[in-house]
Amino acid sequence: MASVPSLAASVNQRVADALSAALPEAGAVDPLLRRSDRADFQANGMLALAKKLKGNPRELAAQVVAALPAGESGAVIKEIEVSGPGFLNITVADEAIIKTLAGRAADDRLGVPYAEDAGTTVIDYAQPNVAKEMHVGHLRSAVIGDAMVQILEFVGEKVIRRHHIGDWGTQFGMLIQYLIEHPHELDHKGGEVSGEEAMSNLNRLYKASRAVFDSDPEFKERARDRVVALQAGEQETLALWQRFVDESKIYFYSVFDKLDMEIRDPDVVGESGYNAMLEETCRLLEESGVAVRSEGALCVFFDDVKGPDGKPVPLIVKKSNGGYGYAATDLSAIRDRVQTLGANTLLYVVDARQSLHFKMVFETARRAGWLNEKTHAVQLAFGTVLGKDGKPFKTREGETVRLVDLLDEAVERATGVVREKAGKVGLTEQEIVENGAHVGIGAVKYADLSTSAARDYKFDLDQMVSLNGDTSVYLQYAYARIQSILRKAGDARPLAHPELELAPAERALGLHLDQFGEVVSEVAATYEPHKLAAYLYQLASYLTTFYDQCQVVSADNPPELVENRLFLVSLTARTLHQGMALLGIRTPERL
Ligand code: ARG
C-alpha cells in the first residue's frame, strides 16, 4: 500500500532541483507546473522569478534546461524546451507514464496518498425533520455529505457522522397532545409499516392536530402545557414523543435506503440529544460575558451583523420566555463534538440559506473558546435546487416536491434507458431492475455532485439520464464497456509494457489516470466533490477518444500491444469504479 507520486510531482521536483542548481541564490522556488496542450506540462514559475531577480526570463529558463538531464534512457523527462516569454514546455517519456501507472495498478488504493495531517472530522449531514416530509434540500445534504464521508475516510481521516435531525421544539406539544386525545392514531395494526405508510400517518396526524390547534383555544392551551411537560422530561410525554421519532425514522430510513446510503442509528443524534446541555451552555456564555441580556433574552452581538434598519441583529441563545432555540442546540453540539468526540474539524453540510446562522454560531463558539486553532468549523453550504423554469423547485400546485416521488421517477426513467439496451447485453429482468435503480439514483446523485455545491442547480431528469454529456450514465456505460472488453479478451491479460511507444490518445489517457491521487487529495482538503466528478467525466472522455483511435483487442495487434492497452483500460475501469464509489454511485458490471 504505497502511495505513488504523480508524474507531475516528479517532474516538478526535477525542475525545482535544476532551478536551485542553476540559481542557488534564488532559494526554493515553485516552478508552477501545469498540464498543457503544447507539451505534457508547462512550467511558468521562471517569469515571476526573473522579475524578482531582475533577470531575463528566457535566459533563466535556458539555464534551467541546461541543468536538467533530458532524453537519457530511463529519464522521466524526454524533452524540455523554452517557449514564449520564458515558459518551459516539458514532454515526459512514454516509458515513465506506463511505469508510474503500473505502480498505481499494483496498489489497491491506486496510489492515492493518505492525508499527512489526518485528524477527526465530525460531519453534520442528512438531517431531516421529525414528522415532516423530506424534500430536495435534504437530498443535497445527504448526497454531498455522504460523498464527503467516503472521500475523507479514504484519505485516512477519522470521520464521525452526526445526523442532526429536527426532533425537538414546540410543534411536538401539539402533536403529542393530539395523540393523547386520539390514542390509536399511530397504532400499527397489521405489524410493520412501510416508509410511505409511516409518513402518511405522520402527515395525517400533523394536519389533524394543526386544525384543532388553530380552531380550539383550549386545545392550544393544553398543547402549550404539553411542551412544558416535554421539556421537563415528564415520562408519559417523552414516551409519546419517542413514538413520533420512531415513526419518522421508519420513513427516513426507507428514503436513505432508496438513496443507497447507509445511515446508522447511533449516528442519529438529533436536536433533542443536546437538551441536557442547553442550560449549562447558556450559563457559560453568560458568565464569560460572550452573551448578554437584552430585552429579556440572552443574546450575542456582532459588529458586522445588522438588520436593514442598521440595528444589530443578535444571535438569540435563550428567548425572553425562557425557551431555547436552534442556536443554543448548535452551540451545545459544538461543545459535545469538540470536547467529548475530540473533533479537529466540524463540517456542516447545510443549505446556504443558513449561512448567517452558522457564521454567528461559529463566532460565538470562538469567543467562548470552544473553537480555536486546534479545532475549526466549516459550513459546506449548498445552493437551492431549482425547477426547469429556474425557480425554486415546486410541484405544479406550488407545493414542495416530495423527495420519494423524485427518486421513484428517476429510477423509472433510468430503467427505461437500461431496458432499451438490455437486449444487446443480454440482461435478465432482475438485472434490468437492479441496474435501473443504480442508474437512476446515480443520475440524481451525480447531477447534485457535478456542479459546485454553492451553486443552485436545475433538477432536470431528462438531462440527468441522458447517455451523452456529463452524466453518471455516461460514466457507468464507460465502465461497463471496459468490463465487456476485458471479458471478451479471451486469454489476453492486462499487462504493462513500458518499452512500447504510446499513441497520442494513450498518452492523454495515461497522463490523466496519473492525476487521480492528486485530485482525491485536493477534493478531501477543499470539500469540493464536483472536482472529482469533473475528473471522472474527463477520464471517460479520454477513454472515448482512445477507443476512436486505438483498437484494443485486434488480430493485427502484437500481443504486447493488446496487453498494454488492456492494462490501460483496466486501470481506467478501476479508477472510474473507485471514483464513483467515493461519490456514492455504483458501477454495474454489465449495462
Ligand atoms: N434540520 C435542519 C433543516 O432541515 C438542518 C440541520 C442542520 N444542522 C445543524 N447542526 N443545524 O433545515
Instruction: Judge whether 588 and 260 are in contact, CB under 8 Å.
Output: no
pTM of the predicted model as reported, rounded to 2 decimal places: 0.95
Give the β-pairing of 376-382 and 345-351.
parallel
- Does residue 413 lie in a domain region? yes
CA of 337 to the centre of ligand 1 (A): 16
Atom of ligand 1 nearest to the CA of 162: 10
Q: Of 59, 92, 125, which residue constitutes the final position of a domain? A: 92
CA of 165 to the centre of ligand 1 (A): 7
Ligand 1: residue of 122, 123, 127, 403 to mutate (most ligand atoms within 8 A of CB) is: 127
CA of 207 to the centre of ligand 1 (A): 23
Indicate whether residue 258 lines ligand 1 (CB < 6 A).
Answer: no
CA of 440 to the centre of ligand 1 (A): 27
Indicate whether residue 133 lines ligand 1 (CB < 6 A).
Answer: no
CA of 156 to the centre of ligand 1 (A): 27
CA of 586 to the centre of ligand 1 (A): 28
Indicate whether residue 330 lines ligand 1 (CB < 6 A).
Answer: yes
Q: Give the CATH number, domain containing residue 561.
A: 1.10.730.10
Indicate whether residue 121 lines ligand 1 (CB < 6 A).
Answer: no
CA of 127 to the centre of ligand 1 (A): 6
CA of 350 to the centre of ligand 1 (A): 7
Indicate whether residue 166 lines ligand 1 (CB < 6 A).
Answer: yes
- Does residue 234 lie in a domain region? no
Q: Greatest CA span in the chain, whole angstroms?
A: 91
Helix, strand, coil fractions of the chain, as percent rounded to 5: 55, 10, 35
CA of 436 to the centre of ligand 1 (A): 31
Q: Give the CATH number, domain containing residue 80.
A: 3.30.1360.70
Give the β-pairing of 77-83 and 87-92.
antiparallel
Indicate whether residue 164 lines ligand 1 (CB < 6 A).
Answer: yes
Indicate whether residue 162 lines ligand 1 (CB < 6 A).
Answer: no
Atom of ligand 1 nearest to the CA of 350: 7
H/E element, 365: helix 355-367
Indicate whether residue 95 lines ligand 1 (CB < 6 A).
Answer: no
- Does residue 30 lie in a domain region? yes
Instruction: Judge whether 329 and 340 are in contact, CB under 8 Å.
Output: no
CA of 444 to the centre of ligand 1 (A): 22
Indicate whether residue 129 lines ligand 1 (CB < 6 A).
Answer: yes
Q: What Å distances lie between residue 502 and 6, 110, 423, 425, 508, CA to CA?
A: 18, 21, 36, 31, 10
Ligand 1: residue of 141, 164, 326 to mutate (most ligand atoms within 8 A of CB) is: 164
- Does residue 261 lie in a domain region? no
Domain range spanning residue 72? 7-92
pLDDT by residue for the chain (591 residues), tens digit each? 578 899 999 999 999 998 888 888 888 889 999 999 889 999 998 888 888 888 899 998 998 899 887 777 778 999 999 999 999 999 999 999 999 999 999 999 999 999 999 999 999 999 999 999 998 889 999 999 999 999 999 999 999 999 999 999 889 999 999 999 999 888 887 788 999 999 999 999 999 999 999 999 999 999 999 999 998 899 999 999 999 999 999 999 999 999 999 999 999 999 999 999 999 999 999 999 999 999 999 999 999 999 999 999 999 999 998 889 899 999 999 999 999 999 999 999 999 999 999 999 999 999 999 999 999 999 999 999 998 888 888 877 778 788 899 999 999 999 999 999 999 999 999 999 999 999 999 999 999 999 999 999 999 999 999 988 999 999 999 999 999 999 999 889 999 999 999 999 999 999 999 999 999 999 999 999 999 999 999 999 999 999 999 999 999 999 999 999 999 999 999 999 999 999 999 999 999
Helix (H, G, I), strand (E, B) or coil at 89: strand
Q: What's the confidence (pLDDT) of residue 1?
A: 56
Q: Of all protein residues, whose CA lies closest to atom 9 belonging to ligand 1?
A: 164
Separation of alpha carbons 429 and 203, rounded Å:
35
CA of 459 to the centre of ligand 1 (A): 22
- Does residue 222 lie in a domain region? no
Phi/psi for 15 (5° steps) reads -65, -40
CA of 166 to the centre of ligand 1 (A): 7
CA of 231 to the centre of ligand 1 (A): 20
Instruction: Judge whether 140 and 529 are in contact, CB under 8 Å.
Output: no
Q: Of all protein residues, whose CA lies closest to atom 8 belonging to ligand 1?
A: 164
Indicate whether residue 379 lines ligand 1 (CB < 6 A).
Answer: no
Q: Quick one: which of 281, 269, 274, 248 has its CA closest to 172? A: 248
Structurally, how many domains does the chain consist of? 2
- Does residue 46 lie in a domain region? yes
With 0-12 CB in 10 A as exposed, 13-18 as middle and 19+ as buried, what is 88?
buried
Ligand 1: residue of 350, 359, 384, 385 to mutate (most ligand atoms within 8 A of CB) is: 350
Q: Of all protein residues, whose CA lies closest to atom 4 belonging to ligand 1?
A: 128
Residue 66: CA atoms inside 13 Å, Cβ hemisphere, count? 9
Q: Of 92, 110, 126, which residue constitutes the final position of a domain? A: 92
- Does residue 576 lie in a domain region? yes
CA of 426 to the centre of ligand 1 (A): 45
Per-residue cell: 321:
420566555
Q: Of all protein residues, whose CA lies closest to atom 11 belonging to ligand 1?
A: 330
Indicate whether residue 127 lines ligand 1 (CB < 6 A).
Answer: yes
Separation of alpha carbons 435 and 168, rounded Å:
39
Q: What is the predicted ipTM? A: 0.99
Contact partners, residue 17, CB within 8 Å, separation at least 6:
none
- Does residue 298 lie in a domain region? no
Q: Of 92, 114, 142, which residue constitutes the final position of a domain? A: 92
Separation of alpha carbons 286 and 298, rounded Å:
8
